[in-house]
Structure 1
Amino acid sequence: MIQSMTGFGKATLQLPSKKITVEIKSLNSKGLDLNVRMPSVYREMELGLRTQLSNALERGKIDFAIYVENTTEQTATRVNIPIVKAYIGQLLEVYPNADETELMKMAVRMPDALKTEREEVDENEWKQIEGVISEAVGNIKSFRIAEGSALEKEFLQRIANIMTMMNATVAMDGERIENVKKRLSAALEDLKVTLDENRFEQELIFYLEKYDITEEKVRLENHLNYFIQTLADKEANGRKLGFITQEMGREINTMGSKSNHAAMQKLVVQMKDELEKIKEQVLNVL
């Protein structure tokens, strides 16, 4: 079962004095591009958190964020009262008749007028946050699985389309060979030369061997079946699917260069179109 790299997961936790919200967003990427945003109080936990996310999500451009909303009237920022009073006293020396309210407004803008008390990480609180992080990770993985299921259905449909067009191309091979024989015979008749039938047959066989697409058909069919088989693997396989589509493209291109037949070339173009749509979606596979 394939998974998409695109996903979104969210979970919330209500603590006595704050609300914790965890959000994870993932987009496709060649490797792991992890961006973590979290309050500074939890910064010491970032390294372990990155390891957890890397192991769980494996690949993608991942934005992880922890938001903290205080639900009480308490705040970590305090007015530095002695400093503010000192500023007001100094300002009164400069403006003896100034309104104290205006002086207060000026004082609180001065350096060190406000101080933020550094919070320490509460281990019990962090364990609860780890639980909500795990919940968000589970949600994004479920999202990825659902997206992967939709991608798998599209892949199977397009693989079936390519298989059908490939078989139709092979079915035209007999008609194409007859057309080549007729064109060569007509060209020789125009030259009005004596024709050695045995030599003509030998040259014709050699000529047609260069346009034979049997090997390409066999290899393309193997690649299509291997693609379907890889879709069912349990491990992450986006890169492998990408490599298989490259091989499929080579065989389709070779069939196109050998076709020398308008109807066959039209089918080859349609196969290329289906393959390009597969390649675009493979970029989203984990």
Structure 2
Amino acid sequence: MVYSMTGYGQVKSQFGDKEINVEIRCLNSKVNDFRLRIPASYRQKELEIRRILNDTIVRGKLDVTIDISGKGFEEDTKINTNLFKSYMNQIKELNIDLEKIDILNALLKFPNIFESNNNEISEEEFEFTCTLLQESIEKLNDFRSIEGTVLQTDMQLRVNNILKYLKEVEKYEKERIESLKDRIMKSLLSNFNNESIDKNRFEQELLYYIERLDITEEKIRLKQHCEFFTHELNLKSQTKSKKLGFVSQEIGREINTLGAKSQHHQMQKLVVDMKDELEKIKEQLNNIL
């Protein structure tokens, strides 16, 4: 199973006369990067919230918002007038046309504009919020799983295409060998008299040269790497992009060697097609866990 790195989860519910809304957005990131927006009354619980996120979410740039509204919250909340005036004075100093901007609405969205009259929340409310947080994480992971299935299908298609092109390479191998023999012979005849060529020596050198351009091992290894990629892609582990990245590098090495050895225009075209499919796989690997 493959999980996308991007996702979204949101849960909203009533706790007494308060409405609690938990929302999580996740974007691509190589590490866990959390941006947490919570009410001032929840600041004392911030470390616990971060621990839950760290323990349950694998990689990603996360925007986590816990929003409280309703009569019960409004009674406990007031505007931080000193901070509001400070923001307002700084905006006035910018000498911009304030009539074209909804200053009040903008200021009310600034950090810490609202402060709580009650700096503590009950354990019951926090436990309820943690339950909503867990549900939101589950929805995020469901979203990631759905997107991951789409990415998995696409990558498997690309691997299958590489194997298909590899199969097509085989029908040009005999033609490639004959073409190499003809080119070598023509080169020799154009530089030496026919009498001066040692036929036995020529055959030995030709066999040696052709053996150096033999692509049997590269074909076997490329097929094995593609099969291993498919195996890893279908494992149940949640994180696999790094391992699949290493396998894709090995696939790339074999494709490059095939291209260097082929010396046949149709085979080189197939190699280019393989490289194109591999690049699309690498792009998708940046989007999964």
TM-score by length of 2: 0.83
Q: Which moved more, 1:198-207 or 1:42-51?
A: 42-51
Q: Distance in 2 between matches of 1:79 and 1:138?
A: 35
* Map of 1:55 onto structure 2: 55
The structure-2 alpha-carbon separation of the partners of 1:269 and 1:121, relative to structure 1 and needing over 3 Å to count, comes to same
Determine which of 229, 237, 242 is the counterpart of 1:239: 242
* Map of 2:275 onto structure 1: 272
Q: Contact 1:148 / 1:285 at 8 angstroms: preserved in 2?
A: yes
* Map of 1:76 onto structure 2: 77
Q: Distance in 2 between matches of 1:279 and 1:207?
A: 35
Aligned residues: 253
Once the two structures are superposed, residues 231-283 of structure 1 have per-residue CA deviations (whole angstroms, 9 ceiling, x without a partner) of: 12121211111111111111111111111111111110010000000000011
Q: Distance in 2 between matches of 1:79 and 1:178?
A: 85
* Map of 2:141 onto structure 1: 141
* Map of 2:43 onto structure 1: 43
Deviation at 1:59, TM superposition (A): 0.9
Deviation at 1:210, TM superposition (A): 2.1
* Map of 1:256 onto structure 2: 259
Deviation at 1:171, TM superposition (A): 2.6
Q: Distance in 2 between matches of 1:247 and 1:38?
A: 46
* Map of 2:84 onto structure 1: none
TM-score by length of 1: 0.83
Q: Distance in 2 between matches of 1:76 and 1:241?
A: 50
Deviation at 1:14, TM superposition (A): 1.4
Where does structure 2 lack aligned partners over 5 or more consecutive residues? 82-113
Q: Distance in 2 between matches of 1:124 and 1:79?
A: 27
Q: Distance in 1 between matches of 2:118 and 2:166?
A: 68
* Map of 2:193 onto structure 1: 192
Where does structure 1 lack aligned partners over 5 or more consecutive residues? 81-113
Query: What's the secondary structure of 2:120's corresponding residue?
Result: coil
Q: Distance in 1 between matches of 2:263 and 2:129?
A: 65
Q: Distance in 1 between matches of 2:116 and 2:124?
A: 23
Q: Contact 1:13 / 1:129 at 8 angstroms: preserved in 2?
A: no
Query: What's the secondary structure of 1:30's corresponding residue?
Result: coil
Deviation at 1:119, TM superposition (A): 2.6
* Map of 2:222 onto structure 1: 220
Query: What's the secondary structure of 1:205's corresponding residue?
Result: helix
Query: What's the secondary structure of 1:212's corresponding residue?
Result: coil
Q: Contact 2:10 / 2:23 at 8 angstroms: preserved in 1?
A: yes
Query: What's the secondary structure of 2:214's corresponding residue?
Result: coil
RMSD over aligned Cα atoms: 2.0
Query: What's the secondary structure of 2:235's corresponding residue?
Result: coil
Query: What's the secondary structure of 2:268's corresponding residue?
Result: helix
Q: Distance in 2 between matches of 1:196 and 1:25?
A: 74
Deviation at 1:214, TM superposition (A): 1.3
Deviation at 1:186, TM superposition (A): 1.4
Deviation at 1:115, TM superposition (A): 8.5
Structure of larger gyration radius:
1
Query: What's the secondary structure of 1:234's corresponding residue?
Result: coil
The structure-2 alpha-carbon separation of the partners of 1:223 and 1:78, relative to structure 1 and needing over 3 Å to count, comes to closer
